Chain A
Amino acid sequence: MKRYLALAVALIMVVTIFAGCGSTKAPDKAAESKSETTAAKTDAKKEITIAFLFQDLETEFWVAGHKAITETLKAKGIKVIERNANEDANKQLEQAKDVIAQKVDGIIIIPQDGESAVAISKVCNEAGVPIGVFNRPPSNKDAKSLVVVANNEKIAEQAVGYMAEEAKKLNKKMKPLIMVGDLGDPNAVGRKKGFYNVIEKNPDLFEKPIEVPTKWDAPTALANLKSAMQANPNVDFIFTSSDFLYPQIKSVLEPMGKWKKIGEPGHVMLAGLDGDSTAGRLMDEGYVDATGVQDLYYEAQALLDAMLDAISKGDKTPNQWIDDPGFALTQANMKDRRLDMWGNKLRKDKGEIK
């Protein structure tokens, strides 16, 4: 009896896990029931249906990415079938096969990783369904696909370039520190490269930078930044490879008396990359000087335009790489570009800002 009870409970646990994971992703529910975001028609003859397969909604960035794509699709009046893979690459592949069987006109994916992007693209190529890959590039070019991806190197260059301009005004050589992401992630490597491009161009402005590994992990970043600041208390410019690390930067600088607003004596110049809501708030409050922004709305629009173009031309295997040059939101252009940053758009939706 006990054995049967154990089996039953184990089964319930497994079901709960999958249900639990699925239930975290609100859009997935709608997706499973083949929710139609809208059923308007772009073409009088044929309604276009696009499947949107995303890896998960675990971070604010992916929530914003999901929002950017669904809003763009809505605006174009396209019927959407959504699927959430819950971070399972195999599940996403099965979902792709499933929507191909439903004869969708195109597929947009946020893949789990570069490898699964290639695998899913190959399946789409064989089926003759155009595929667009959003923000996470395929690991190789074995399959044909529309790829839109942020140029992390350029975006980092823009943000750090602004800092170099500000540093010139201070008329002193600065000690920079870079919080580096996981070196297995091409985004982290691109951001590091962009940072160094500017630093190396301005040897008269910057000393040799201090490198702090974060592995994209907040406690690791906190511990390593504390160590780095103790070893190098003269650091006066911090570049974080991701905006999500600002709370850790504050935790380290505040007890040292270095968490100061721009213009206050002892201000440590701060720049980051991503464009999340924390960076938006800290820029409003005057702590952060600049942040490089991945232009998610540009990416969504560009990908969809390319996709619709391929569908209208009957191109079943479009192959194009679209670069998002992003932009730097700085204290100098805040007035004009504040609401172009996806983090600030999320804040606006929540009613935090106007």
Chain B
Amino acid sequence: MSKTAIKFKLAILKNTPFILFVCIFIIFGILSPKFFQYENFENIATSASYIGIVTVGMTFVLLTAGIDLSVGSNMFLSASIAGLLIRDLNAPIWLALLCAVLVGTLYGGINAFFIVKLRILPFLVTLSTLVAGRGLGLLITKSQGVTLPESISNWGAVRVVGLPVPIIIYAVIALIAHLFLKFFPMGRQIYAIGNDPEAAKKAGLNTDRSIAFVYIISGLLAAIAGIVSVSQMGIVNAGFGDGDEFDAIAAAVLGGTSLFGGIGTIFPGAVIGTILIQMVQAGLVYTQVDMYIQPLIQAAVIFVAVFLDSIRSREISKIEKRHIRVEN
């Protein structure tokens, strides 16, 4: 195979998630021409924004071979606290939102403490805090929905430089996270820990600090995601955030993040994964596919994406090995 052919094949393989994304977009567009409208793409990105923010945090955690099942409860608890501060104590909005972010970060800190200091498995810790967080949220809200003032619910529709605020927040967070993982020493350490924690330790890395960091970041981003979601819905009810942890894990994995750690990116990976899931959901509504068939199509798309990703990884490593030999 010529060098050009190898380069072309590599380019195709490395961009498989993006190519799949474009193909699905075109298919839905052909089936329903309105799908190509700019408003639709904006809608998809806005709807994906809050789960995308959670996915960024989840990607950090997954890169260390960990898991954070508590993000949905964290969203519920921190958003409920913000809502109650505003509704019952007439707190200024900025203060309530700040408190929500602090609660989310503390939530992540509690996870980090149990995982790093007490060496309890992340799955068990975050499963426990998932239940405890939701219980605490239900206790303080008495299971009643907390309606937020219109100044917050309207804020989800505000535009900055022509784009809805939720998209801007998501884009900024994804960009910072991407740059952090790519260029900052701590970012590289997170990959190293996920690849081989023992080797990372022997290399002198402070693995505890990095692991604590990813859970705190996940907690912080879950709280921000909760605020972004509330800004679109205007109410925090008892089911708020329920099951969002699984959507975030699915989006991260769909974007190529390995559940075993060490592999994955924010951009294009997690971002494409999140938007792909949302796009399929929107496409099925646009094309009015039978509702009993929809879950099958969604599952098939996820399966195909993950299957292609596994083939892609194998092929890339094969080609790169051959390529090294050619160069030598």
Interface positions of A (Cβ within 8 A of B): 2, 5-6, 9-10, 13-14, 16-17, 20-21, 23-24, 26, 57-60, 62-63, 180, 183, 210-213, 216-220, 222-224, 226-228, 230-231, 244, 247-248, 250-251, 254-255, 278
Contacts and interface: CB of A to CB of B under 8 A. Distances in A.
A14 B132 CA distance: 9
A9 B278 CA distance: 40
A180 B291 contact: yes
A222 B135 contact: no
Interface stretch (B94-102, B180-188, B238-246): B238-246
B135 A248 contact: no
Contact of A211 (B120, B131, B288): B288
A13 B135 contact: no
B131 A223 contact: no
A230 B234 contact: no
B285 A219 contact: no
A228 B285 contact: yes
A177 B243 CA distance: 26
B7 to A, nearest CB: 39
B136 interface: yes
Contact of B118 (A2, A63, A212, A222): A2
B132 A16 contact: yes
Nearest to B231: A251
B128 interface: yes
A9 B50 contact: no
15 contacts: A9-B118, A13-B114, A13-B125, A14-B128, A57-B143, A60-B144, A180-B291, A219-B51, A228-B285, A230-B39, A230-B43, A231-B35, A231-B285, A251-B234, A255-B157
B85 to A, nearest CB: 19
A224 B281 contact: yes
Contacts of A227: 40, 43-44, 281-282, 285-286
Interface of B: 32, 34-35, 37, 39-40, 43-44, 46-47, 50-51, 114, 118-120, 124-125, 128, 131-132, 135-136, 138-139, 142-145, 147, 153, 156-157, 229, 232-235, 237-240, 242-244, 278, 281-282, 284-286, 288, 291-292, 294
Nearest to A278: B145
A82 B157 CA distance: 45
B131 A210 contact: no
Nearest to B39: A230
Contacts of A244: 145, 237
B233 A248 contact: yes
A22 to B, nearest CB: 8
A17 B44 CA distance: 36
B282 A24 contact: no
A59 B292 contact: no
A23 B138 CA distance: 9
B132 A20 contact: yes
Given A60-B143, A220-B281, A223-B282, A247 B234 contact: yes
A246 B44 CA distance: 21
A58 B114 CA distance: 28
A63 B233 CA distance: 23
